[in-house]
Structures are given as structure tokens and as C-alpha cells.
């Protein structure tokens, strides 16, 4: 059964788009049919992550009534399918957010896992994405400001009667100043889907215009996203071989 996951956060800069990209890539590694949608129409980044900042037809055009959603789907060399949004401020004009419901229904006929990278915050864009979610996945960092903003997103999701699948804690450095995991769980009262370490491999993947899952599959961040995807699918990952562990420790 097809499902729409909305990746959201109470604030920007927490790793929301990176999570949407790499969770999608990880699900794709499990041979799942995945489509990632840039529902952040005002500050879209999905196309930039995959080296396609400008496309002929985008979600922005679809929500203006100028194109069909099928025409805005592009396939990456990894097998991921993408629906970018336009970087042009002009394309922000005359967008009809009410059309998102019809777009979501059509996409569920075209793919199994649809991941919406929503706008940060709790404005109209973010709310529109949440309204069309089957499940919501929060992204936060281990600090009180980020977690407090995520709590606002939890309350909004609850007001909309939406299922929150859990929270992914990103950019974790393991420092004493970071908010403890148990405190984050107690504050948000949602399951923790996974912890993604702060990893230079993620920045390298941005330069290479690909997901870290594909550019450095043995990196700590890639392994974390694969574990999260396995949890979502209800699958178990195979234990790493000694060679994989050795190569991973060497950053290969």
C-alpha cells in the first residue's frame, strides 16, 4: 500500500532535506519504489542535492495549474524518482496549495513510498504538507531550541489527527553539551527512529550531488539511515562483515 511520509521540523537547518534525500535513497537500496517531493516551495533544495537546480517542469508549475504532476517527475541515476520545485521567485506566485491533495493522491498511484520534504516551521506550506501525510517523521538536533521547536510540530500534527511515526535526531556529535536522548524522548513523547551522527561524508555527498547512501555507503551516517529505513520497513539488516567494518573505520 502506497504511503506519503512528510519529513518536517520546527525550524530550519536541522538536516531535514538531507534526511529526506538519504531516507529515500536508503529505502531505494532495499529495492523499494521511492519518490521524493520538494514540498518546500519557498526555499527548495531537493534539486540542488541531485544536481538538477533547474528543471523544465516542477511542482511549482503543477500547483499553478500549468502542468500535470506526471510531467514533473524525474529519475536519478540511482533509481530514485524526484519532483523538484522551482528556485524562481516568480514561480511562487499564484500557487494553489489546495491542489496538493490531488497531487498526493496521484503520486500514490505512481510510487510506493512518497517522501515530502516540507518547509521548515509551521506556516501554510508546512501545514499543507502535513495535511496530506499518512505518517509524519520529525527531524531535530540534540539541543533544547531545536527540540522545543519540534514539540510545536508534534502539537500541530496532533491537532491535524496525523500519525507521527517518530523522530530522527541528526548532527549528533556525542558531546556532553548535547541534550540526552532520554530527555528528548520524554519531551517529544514520540518514538526515536534513529540517531544520525555529525559526519563530513554528508557534506561530501552534497558536493557530489548525490545521497551519502550512494557516495559513501560505509560511512556512519549512511549506516544510520539504512538502519532507519530497515526499521520503517520492518526488516533486519545483515550484520557487517569484518572487511566492511575495517573499510568503514578507514573511511572507505
pLDDT for 54 equals 87
Of 107, 159, 164, 160, give the one whose Cα is nearest residue 140.
Answer: 164
pLDDT for 56 equals 94
Taking the mean position of all CA atoms in its chain, how far away is CA 122?
16
- Residue 245 confidence (pLDDT) above 90: no
pTM score, two decimals? Answer: 0.92
Condensed to tens digits (0 to 9), the pLDDT of residues 72-93 reads 999 998 889 999 999 887 777 7
- Residue 235 confidence (pLDDT) above 60: yes
| Percentage of residues in the chain having pLDDT higher than 90 | 80
Taking the mean position of all CA atoms in its chain, how far away is CA 225?
11
CB contact set of 190 (below 8 Å; sequence gap of 6+): 138, 154, 164, 166, 167
pLDDT for 87 equals 87
Average pLDDT of the chain to the nearest whole number: 92
Strand partners, 169: 140, 195
pLDDT for 248 equals 57
Can you tell me the distance from the alpha carbon of 90 to that of 140, in angstroms, rounded to the nearest whole number? Answer: 31
* From 2-6, 184-188, 221-225, 244-248, the region with the lowest mean pLDDT: 244-248
Residue 5: CB atoms within 10 A of its CB come to 23
Condensed to tens digits (0 to 9), the pLDDT of residues 48-81 reads 999 888 899 999 999 999 999 999 999 998 889 9
Cα Rg for the chain, rounded, in angstroms? 17
Instruction: Find the mean pLDDT for residues 20-38.
Output: 97
The fold for domain 3-249 equals Rossmann fold (3.40.50)
Of 214, 182, 186, give the one whose Cα is nearest residue 195.
Answer: 182
pLDDT for 59 equals 96
pLDDT for 52 equals 85
Can you tell me the distance from the alpha carbon of 53 to that of 100, in angstroms, rounded to the nearest whole number? Answer: 22
Q: What sign for the dihedral angle of Cα 197, 201, 203, 205?
A: negative
Domain ranges for the chain: 3-249
Can you tell me the distance from the alpha carbon of 79 to that of 74, in angstroms, rounded to the nearest whole number? Answer: 10
pLDDT for 243 equals 54
| Percentage of residues in the chain having pLDDT higher than 70 | 94
Q: Do residues 109 and 77 make contact, with C-beta atoms less than 8 angstroms apart?
A: no
- Burial environment of residue 149 by CB neighbours within 10 A (0 to 12, 13 to 18, 19 or more): buried
Instruction: Find the mean pLDDT for residues 167-184.
Output: 96
Confidence of residue 241 (pLDDT cuts 50, 70, 90): low
Amino acid at each position: 500500500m502506497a504511503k506519503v511520509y512528510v519529513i518536517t521540523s520546527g525550524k530550519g537547518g536541522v538536516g531535514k532535506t538531507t534526511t529526506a534525500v538519504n531516507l529515500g535513497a536508503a529505502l531505494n537500496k532495499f529495492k523499494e519504489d521511492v519518490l521524493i517531493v520538494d514540498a518546500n516551495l519557498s526555499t527548495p533544495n531537493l534539486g540542488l542535492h541531485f544536481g538538477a537546480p533547474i528543471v523544465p517542469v516542477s511542482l511549482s508549475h503543477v500547483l499553478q495549474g500549468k502542468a500535470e504532476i506526471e510531467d514533473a517527475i524525474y529519475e536519478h541515476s540511482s533509481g530514485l524518482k524526484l519532483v523538484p520545485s522551482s528556485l524562481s521567485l516568480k514561480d511562487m506566485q499564484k500557487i494553489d496549495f489546495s491542489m496538493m491533495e490531488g497531487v498526493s493522491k496521484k503520486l500514490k498511484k505512481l510510487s510506493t513510498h512518497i517522501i515530502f520534504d516540507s518547509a521548515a516551521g509551521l506556516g501554510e506550506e508546512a501545514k499543507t504538507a502535513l495535511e496530506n501525510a499518512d505518517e509524519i517523521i520529525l527531524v531535530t538536533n540534540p539541543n533544547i531550541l531545536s527540540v522545543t521547536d519540534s514539540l510545536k510540530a508534534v502539537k500541530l500534527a496532533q491537532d491535524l489527527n496525523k500519525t507521527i511515526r517518530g523522530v530522527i535526531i541528526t548532527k549528533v556529535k556525542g558531546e556532553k553539551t548535547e541534550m540526552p536522548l532520554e530527555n528528548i524522548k520524554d519531551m517529544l513523547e514520540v518514538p526515536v527512529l534513529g540517531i544520525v551522527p555529525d559526519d563530513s561524508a554528508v557534506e561530501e555527498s552534497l558536493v557530489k550531488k548525490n545521497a551519502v547512501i550512494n557516495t559513501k555507503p560505509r560511512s556512519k551516517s549512511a549506516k544510520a539511515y539504512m538502519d532507519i529505513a530497515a526499521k520503517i520497513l520492518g526488516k533486519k539488516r545483515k550484520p557487517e562483515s569484518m572487511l566492511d567494518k575495517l573499510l568503514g573505520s578507514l573511511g572507505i
